[in-house]
Amino acid sequence: QVQLVESGGGVVQAGGSLRISCAASGNILDIINMGWYRQTTGKQRELVASISRTDSTNYAESVKGRFTISRDNAKNTVFLQMNGLKPEDTAAYYCYADIVATTPPIARYWGQGTQDTVSS
């Protein structure tokens, strides 16, 4: 059974940095796309960043130049380095991965979420 486990994050002052990671495990044949969403109370979940199997990346306009997404295919892990954090970056961050496995053949899996808080 495939699962994603997030780690890192926490509380930081404005202008500071955080790094969160998400490791996939289980009967994985391949991972296509990986990425991060975030959500705050009363708002829709927002796509923060994504990275393809060939390291093509996309970022939300609000984080461009401050956040960097990367992945380690050998460890089935995706990272999000967050620099220059602002109070409006405070949210629960969820990783996802589009995984090819024996069954189901392909599906999107989600991490458990990590709360990251930026104090002003």
pLDDT in tens, 2-48: 999 999 989 999 999 999 999 999 999 999 999 999 999 889 999 99
The residue-averaged pLDDT of 93-113 equals 93
* pLDDT tens digits, one per residue of 42-87: 899 999 999 999 999 999 999 999 999 999 999 999 999 999 999 9
Dist. CA 104–CA 50, nearest whole Å: 22
15 φψ region: left (φ > 0), alpha (ψ -120 to 50), beta (else): left
pLDDT of residue 105: 85
pLDDT of residue 58: 98
Is the separation of the CB atoms in 91 and 40 below 8 Å?
A: yes
pLDDT of residue 92: 97
Which one is predicted more confidently, 90 or 42?
Answer: 90
Phi first, then psi, for residue 88 (nearest 5°) are -70, -5
Phi first, then psi, for residue 28 (nearest 5°) are -95, 130
Distance, CA of 116 to chain centre: 12
Dist. CA 90–CA 1, nearest whole Å: 31
* Tokens encoding 69: 């997404």
Q: Tokens 């926490």 correspond to what residue? A: 10
pLDDT of residue 1: 87
pLDDT of residue 102: 81
Confidence band, pLDDT 50/70/90 cuts, at residue 103: confident
pLDDT of residue 3: 96
